[in-house]
Amino acid sequence: MSQLPRALHPGAWWLWALGLAAAASRTTNPLLLALIVAVAGLVVAGRRGDAPWAFAFKFYLWAGVFVVLSRVLFRIVFGSGAAGHVLVDLPEVPLPGRVAGITLFGPVTAEHLLGGLYDGMRLAAMLICLGAANALADPKRMLKAVPNALYEVGTAVVVALSVAPQLVESVLRVRRARALRGGRRRGLRALRGIAMPVLVDALDRSLALAAAMDSRGYGRGGEGPRRLTGGLVIAGLLGVCVGVYGLLDGTTPGWLGLPMLLGGLLVAGVGLPLAGRRVHRSVYRPDPWQLPETLVAGSGLAAAAVLVLTSRVDPRNLYPSLEPLTWPGLPLVGALGVLVAVLPLVAAPQPALVRA
């Protein structure tokens, strides 16, 4: 698909990433989780720009490794207490007092260890998917797409989402400055000379952003029935959140899924236009939503839909058995659903590069 270079709508990247994260939440199969991480990495490598936050993806990869190691270490420290294939028989350390029922260490079984590995990989895959959205989309541009009714709340959310990219950008700036000054310390020895400048730089950038937003009138209110419209918006968004949770979690009652989601969308659809009349704002060069945005967002949501439907119809291959211990297989339908999320490599235009 030949297109001129341009920045894709940030909402499309976030919908794509949230769809991949929802797909990862529906399985503990390590092969599928590794495929989800590989898809996210391929899209980031092929469609990220040259902005400082675009190079934050590797930090999320390291964070995912830390999550997996933490989950496995947690299983080892607190022991299993269950029968299985014992890998290491560590001495047990009972705790006194109010925590007398907890025992540290003990026999480490393969089933217990793999359970921690699978749970850690699922959480790490979800974190990496959100990291992909941070690397592909500029969070500040999301303010242009926030509805008028959610403008004030959306401002706070966007500022919160920009914390991680700003920290990464500060780390890169400080490391580049240290390299120019001939700094040779690496690892933990360089932490003292990096941590304080990074915190100071991130704080200065946050204060500058707050001052710029205040000078442009962010956070101002308008007139209108605030209680009625605000109540409709909050009730609708709560219904959407409960409905999405009901669809993703197979243990919740059926009426908390699709019916609650549709009801929340209906209430929010009535409240958002009414509440939007209170805020009057103009947008300079709004980001367009065209066919590439629809394809990118739809590919991520399609991956989530395939995994959700598969988990309800045939969840055996999505959750590898630990008792008895079996080798996980790669479900064909789930793998094809995840591979649909590679579509942005073809559908999304090349990003517009800032630096030559």
At 103 the three-state DSSP class reads: strand
Residue 51 to residue 140: CA distance in whole angstroms: 13
Per-residue pLDDT of the chain (356 residues; tens, 9 = 90+): 446 778 788 888 989 998 999 899 888 899 999 999 999 999 998 888 777 667 778 888 999 999 999 998 888 887 655 667 777 777 777 777 666 666 777 777 888 888 889 999 999 999 999 889 888 887 667 666 666 556 556 666 666 666 666 667 777 777 777 777 666 556 555 666 667 777 777 677 767 766 666 666 655 555 555 566 666 667 777 777 777 767 666 566 666 666 777 777 777 666 666 655 555 556 566 677 888 889 999 999 999 989 988 887 777 778 888 878 788 888 888 899 999 999 999 888 887 765 54
Q: Which residues contact 163 (CB under 8 A, 6 or more apart)?
A: 202, 206
Find, among 177, 174, 162, the residue nearest to 200 by Cα: 174
Residue 75 to residue 83: CA distance in whole angstroms: 14
Q: What is the pTM of this model?
A: 0.72
Q: Beta strand 103-104 with 86-89: parallel, antiparallel or unpaired?
A: unpaired
> Which residue ranges make up each domain of the chain?
10-218+228-277+289-347
